[in-house]
Amino acid sequence: MGVLGQMYRLLTVAGAHEADKASDRRPLQLRLNDARRELDIALDAGRTDTAHLRLMVQEMERTFELRNTHARLLEGQDQEDAAMEIYETNVTDMFAGSVPYERLLQIYTHKKATKEAQRVARACLAHAAVDLDAATRALCLSTLQIPNEIDPE
């Protein structure tokens, strides 16, 4: 997707609020990780002026939550394409949770969109490793046609 397409998706899916932060074009998860790290450093240093950092972290976390919730609601209203766009936004923003990857894997597999499913499976293994259960990991590996060898030890 080109730059204009990404900007359009950012404005229509995330709203103008996210577009105001266009000066930092890194994925939202990277910005969230940096804000969490900065907050931890400030707390370790004993600083008490951390309200703005806490607010930033909460706002970014809430953005991911709202996107996933909105996409689920759209799926329930049989608006799968709109839901997919929102899930794709979380994938583009390198969301560390497994929800958008799982849903997109199921949708793309159902639609027999193999290349898209493989792209999402790779992103899932790269970004959602912390929240990844065994079944989702196995689905990703299966989608990528990689044998799922579990170490018996």
What pLDDT is stored for residue 5 in this prediction?
A: 57
Highest mean pLDDT among 4-18, 20-34, 54-68 belongs to 54-68
Each residue of 79-108: pLDDT tens digit? 999 999 999 999 999 999 999 999 999 999
Range of the domain at 136: 24-143
What pLDDT is stored for residue 61 in this prediction?
A: 96
Q: Which residues of 117-149 are buried (b: 16+ CB within 10 A; e: fewer)?
A: bbbbbebbbebbeeebeeebbebbeebeeeeee
Domain annotation covers residue 100:
yes
More reliable by pLDDT, 17 or 148: 148
Give the list of residues 6+ apart from residue 95 with CB closer than 8 angstroms, or none.
28, 29, 64, 101, 127, 128
Domain count, the chain: 1
Integer Cα distance of 22 and 15 in angstroms: 12
Domain annotation covers residue 8:
no
Three-class secondary structure of residue 147 per DSSP: coil
Above pLDDT 70, what percent of the chain?
A: 82
Domain annotation covers residue 128:
yes
Domain annotation covers residue 152:
no
pLDDT at 1 > cutoff 60: no
Mean predicted confidence (pLDDT) in 18-42: 85
Each residue of 133-147: pLDDT tens digit? 999 999 999 999 988
Each residue of 107-119: pLDDT tens digit? 999 999 999 999 9
Domain annotation covers residue 14:
no
Domain annotation covers residue 6:
no
pLDDT at 49 > cutoff 60: yes
Domain annotation covers residue 13:
no
What pLDDT is stored for residue 129 in this prediction?
A: 76
